[in-house]
Amino acid sequence: MTDYQGFYLRENPFPEVATLDPGSPDPKVNGEIFCEEIVGDEMRDITEKMNRRVNVIYVAGLEFDKGVGKSALIAHQWRPFAKDGIITTPYIRCKSRNKPDDFCDLVVREWAKQGTLWKAFGRLLERYASENPSPSLTSEAIQLMLKTFQRPPETLPLSRFLHITKPLSLSRSLGEWMNLKEPRVDGKLGEFFSERNLTHPEAFFDGYVKFKFPGVDRIDLYKSILHVLRLGGYQYHYLFLDQFEDSVMPVSPAGIAGFCLGMRRIIEASQGLATILVTLHPDSETKLDLPAGGDLVKIAPVDDIHRVDVGVLEQAGDDAIALAKSYFGRYRTQHAAEPTYPLAADVIRYICFLEGGNVRRTLQKLHAVLRHAAEQNVHPLTMEYVKSNHRETMGTELQPDLLQRFETSSK
């Protein structure tokens, strides 16, 4: 195992594979390490659009399909909101061939996993009890039950708290009451929602994905759940669809109209209730610009009102240095005279230059170069060393014309 202690580092701070996984405990890939210095304008733009509750926010890359930091940027925007409150922030990693129906189910799954649906149900039950007083259903008993089970339990021992022997009867009454309060909540869905939470809350989603009734599809159900959450005290939602482009690209030209119609229906269902943030790269944007994509882009155009552009690292400036320092700083065991020690600053700039400012590839090359420095006990690792050991450090033979261009741009 490579030892980085001689460099005052616990380990190699750079990811060997620079992909984003917000659920990982590793700060190198979960988005905790973030360099606000290089994307300050983009962060302010996204925040302003979120505050205005624009229906769709496209976080779009300008030059590369992958690796410019779109996912890291929306994960950074997501993280402060990912706490209990009256605003929810489901974060979805889109996959190839996910369709709009799938997005709806995935969002509901996140609400179930986060305990959002359980909390909403608890508030609804308290509200129902206050409007329909009964010795068998008191507010005090409900509050005790919710305090005991702050997360959805596998099985709810209802009779320990409430004098209820027939949960199905209560579920039916709750469903009717919810529909009366908000007609956009179908009574059958309200009954199902109540029954699952009164019996097996933890397994809510397992039943939900199988729940069907005539004339209602997954987008309709998502819309009803949005209104259930509004009844349950949740005021607004930010839906993060990371890697949205991966779902767009496999759609055939013949299928893009149906895909965009589904997205339009989700946006319409979310109107006034949710903002959708998606990542988009140039190829997927071109696909949405086809005439068949009109259903989506007519109500959520990819324009300056909805779009935030994410560019590459500035090769002639200090963007790469700032990025590297944010990773080094997280793993230092003691102070180093230079914040990028053992890598010389011009080596970091050169790596960024060779990778065209692509964040992902720059981070991965930094990992490889630092590992080489540790294995060969080279410190500091300078540009002179890189020139003499180009294949070992950069993975390619030295190209004098590229080196000259870099040296000219750095002056």
In this predicted model, what pLDDT tens digit does every residue of 384-408 receive, in sequence order?
999 999 999 999 999 999 999 998 8
Q: Are residues 225 and 330 in the same domain?
A: no
Global pTM reads 0.88
Long-range contacts (CB closer than 8 Å, 24 or more residues apart) made by 192-195: 193/117, 193/121, 193/225, 193/228, 194/121, 194/124, 194/170, 195/167, 195/168, 195/171
- Write down how long the chain is: 411
Confidence of residue 109 (pLDDT cuts 50, 70, 90): very high
Conformational region of residue 302, where left means phi above 0, alpha means psi within -120 to 50, and beta covers everything else = beta
Beta strands 236-242 and 91-93: pairing type?
Answer: parallel
Q: Is the pLDDT of residue 67 over 60?
A: no
Q: Closest by alpha carbon to 330, among 27, 22, 79, 21?
A: 27
Cα 109 from Cα 138, distance rounded (Å): 30
Residue 265 lies in a domain: no
Conformational region of residue 2, where left means phi above 0, alpha means psi within -120 to 50, and beta covers everything else = beta
Cα 25 from Cα 215, distance rounded (Å): 43
Per residue in 181-213, pLDDT (tens digit) is 999 999 999 999 999 999 999 999 999 999 998
Q: Is the pLDDT of residue 63 over 70?
A: no
Q: Give the pLDDT of residue 321.
A: 94
Residue 326 lies in a domain: yes
HSE (side-chain half, CA atoms, 13 Å) at 368: 17
Residue 10 lies in a domain: yes
Residue 101: what are its φ and ψ, rounded to 5°?
-60, -40
Tokens 């065991």, residue?
333
Tokens 């616990």, residue?
10
Instruction: Look at residues 231, 248, 283 and tell me which one is the last residue of a structural domain.
Output: 231
Angle (CA) 279 113 69, round 5°: 20
**Chain centre to alpha carbon of residue 241:** 6
**Chain centre to alpha carbon of residue 154:** 27
Instruction: Look at residues 231, 257, 273 and tell me which one is the last residue of a structural domain.
Output: 231
Torsion 375-377-382-386 (CA) sign: negative
Residue 142 lies in a domain: yes
Range 277-314 burial, b when 16+ CB lie within 10 A, else e: bbbbbeebbebbeeebbbbbbeebebeeebbbbbbbbe
Tokens 């300056």, residue?
304
What residue type is 5 in one-letter code? Q
Cα 288 from Cα 301, distance rounded (Å): 10
Residue 280 lies in a domain: no
Q: Is the pLDDT of residue 93 over 70?
A: yes
Number of domain units in the chain: 2
Cα 307 from Cα 304, distance rounded (Å): 5
Confidence of residue 65 (pLDDT cuts 50, 70, 90): low
Q: Give the pLDDT of residue 1.
A: 73
Q: Span 282-308, mean pLDDT?
A: 89
Q: Closest by alpha carbon to 355, among 411, 314, 408, 397?
A: 314
Cα dist from 44 to 2, 38, 74, 77, whole Å: 40, 12, 12, 10
Q: Span 70-86, mean pLDDT?
A: 75
**What is the percent of the chain where pLDDT is above 90?**
69
Q: Give the pLDDT of residue 136.
A: 85
Determine contact, residues 116/88, Cβ cutoff 8 Å: yes
Domain range spanning residue 221?
116-231
Residue 201 lies in a domain: yes
The residues, any chain, with a CB within 8 Å of residue 137's CB and separated by 6 or more, are: 128, 129, 162, 163, 164, 170
DSSP SS3 for 213? strand
Q: Span 163-171, mean pLDDT?
A: 85
Determine contact, residues 71/82, Cβ cutoff 8 Å: no
Residue 348 lies in a domain: yes
Q: Span 159-168, mean pLDDT?
A: 83
Residue 81: what are its φ and ψ, rounded to 5°?
-85, -15
Q: Is the pLDDT of residue 130 over 70?
A: yes
Per residue in 326-361, pLDDT (tens digit) is 999 999 999 999 999 999 999 999 999 999 888 899
What residue type is 200 in one-letter code? H
Q: Span 162-182, mean pLDDT?
A: 90
| DSSP type of residue 137 | B
Q: Give the pLDDT of residue 163.
A: 79
Cα 50 from Cα 98, distance rounded (Å): 25
Instruction: Look at residues 202, 231, 260 and tell me which one is the last residue of a structural domain.
Output: 231
DSSP string computed for 353-386: HHTTT-HHHHHHHHHHHHHHHHHHT-SSB-HHHH
What residue type is 116 in one-letter code? T
Task: Please state, rounded to an integer, the average pLDDT across all residues of the chain.
Answer: 91
Q: Give the pLDDT of residue 312.
A: 75
Residue 57 lies in a domain: no
Confidence of residue 60 (pLDDT cuts 50, 70, 90): confident
Q: Give the pLDDT of residue 81.
A: 66
Q: Give the pLDDT of residue 167.
A: 84
The residues, any chain, with a CB within 8 Å of residue 157's CB and separated by 6 or more, are: none
Q: Are residues 224 and 320 in the same domain?
A: no
Determine contact, residues 239/54, Cβ cutoff 8 Å: no
